[in-house]
């Protein structure tokens, strides 16, 4: 086993973390021979719950898990980190205006970005999960100017997995037979799941998603709205937000960023609007974008710019 790496999960007493921590600790993300130290950060009222999570992790008797550090202090949580999964954020409360939500989260991610800047390794890989994820990621990155911005990404892999699964179920194949699905834009109901470049493998033969599905109206209608609204549908059914699927997506995302993802340019894994290759993301050049896609992309881009401008005004920079 190699020397342990230090991995932080914030919001560590919450339900996404509860589904996530076991997978990280048993080697699903950073490798089956990579020892690790797990750092668990949450707010002071959640520390008793966090103690229970620590007990359970200890009781799993996992060979890769060298130490678990529960804390409510940023100077402890962010010290010498190799990877950070920022799950904790301010959830939207009833009657809360969107700008109030943005302001609360700017404060959180400005503080955590500052802690990354001050205490973490400059090579740290940061995955922002807490919503609004795209904007929170931007704020964290802006607050840690000496850490390369390429080291920051936000979770759109859940949307990617949802879209891939919907296509696979429609065609009657397993999800690993669907590739090159793209999620454009914000992790919100304006996101655009795009399968114009996607391929489906059927009986060993690769064809376009449109040819495989054979239902353009579904792909341009219910498919898009199902993926856009999936989070709300899960909440309506479970009375709780997506946790198991979010944790799985976090694992997929961080694993692809952590390891060399060697793939030809046209076969990147699309989920943060860029494919991951060789431990970083790159923009794919020369994708043809039709008028239908352009309209959807412009709408979500407009929302992102509005969110960004509001958040940056709170940042005071």
Query: Which positions are catalytic?
Result: 187
For the record, the structure tokens of 275 come out as 């494919």
How far is the CA of 239 from the CAs of 49, 155, 233, in angstroms?
21, 22, 10
Separation CA 190–CA 179 (nearest Å): 22
Separation CA 157–CA 317 (nearest Å): 30
Q: Whose structure tokens read 């060993």?
A: 204
Mention every residue, 6+ apart, whose C-beta is less than 8 A from residue 77: 8, 10, 39, 41, 69, 71, 115
Separation CA 305–CA 309 (nearest Å): 6
Q: How many CB atoms lie within 10 A of CB 55?
A: 10
Separation CA 261–CA 208 (nearest Å): 23
Mention every residue, 6+ apart, whose C-beta is less than 8 A from residue 303: 185, 186, 188, 190
Mention every residue, 6+ apart, whose C-beta is less than 8 A from residue 37: 4, 5, 6, 7, 66, 67, 68, 69
CB burial string 290-303: b at 16+ within 10 A, e below:
eeebeebbeebeeb
Q: What is the DSSP pairing of strand 152-154 with strand 178-179?
A: unpaired
């Amino acid at each position: 086993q190699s020397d342990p790496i230090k991995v932080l999960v914030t919001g560590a007493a919450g339900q996404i973390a509860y589904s996530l921590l076991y997978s990280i600790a048993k080697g699903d993300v950073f490798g089956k021979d990579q020892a690790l130290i797990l750092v668990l950060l949450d707010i002071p009222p959640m520390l008793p719950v966090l103690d229970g999570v620590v007990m359970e992790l200890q009781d799993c008797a996992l060979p890769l898990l060298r130490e678990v550090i529960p804390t409510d202090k940023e100077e402890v949580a962010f010290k010498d980190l190799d990877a950070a999964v920022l799950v904790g954020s301010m959830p939207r409360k009833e009657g809360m205006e969107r700008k109030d939500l943005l302001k609360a989260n700017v404060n959180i991610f400005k503080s955590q970005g500052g802690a990354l800047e001050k205490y973490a390794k400059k090579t740290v890989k940061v995955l922002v999960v807490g919503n609004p994820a795209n904007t929170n990621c931007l704020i964290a990155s802006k607050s840690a100017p000496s850490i390369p911005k390429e080291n920051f990404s936000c979770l759109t892999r859940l949307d990617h997995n949802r879209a891939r699964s919907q296509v696979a179920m429609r065609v009657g194949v397993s999800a690993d037979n669907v590739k090159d699905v793209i999620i454009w834009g914000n992790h919100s109901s304006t996101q655009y799941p795009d399968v114009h470049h996607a391929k489906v493998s059927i009986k060993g033969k690769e064809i376009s998603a449109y040819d495989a599905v054979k239902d353009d109206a579904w792909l341009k209608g219910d498919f898009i709205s199902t993926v856009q609204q999936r989070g709300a549908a899960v909440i309506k059914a479970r009375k709780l937000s997506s946790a198991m699927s979010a944790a799985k997506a976090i694992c997929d995302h961080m694993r692809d960023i952590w390891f060399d993802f060697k793939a030809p340019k046209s076969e990147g894994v699309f989920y943060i609007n860029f494919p991951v290759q060789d431990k970083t993301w790159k923009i794919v050049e020369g994708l043809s974008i039709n008028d239908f896609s352009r309209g959807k992309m412009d709408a979500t881009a407009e929302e992102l710019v509005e969110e960004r401008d509001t958040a940056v005004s709170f940042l005071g920079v």
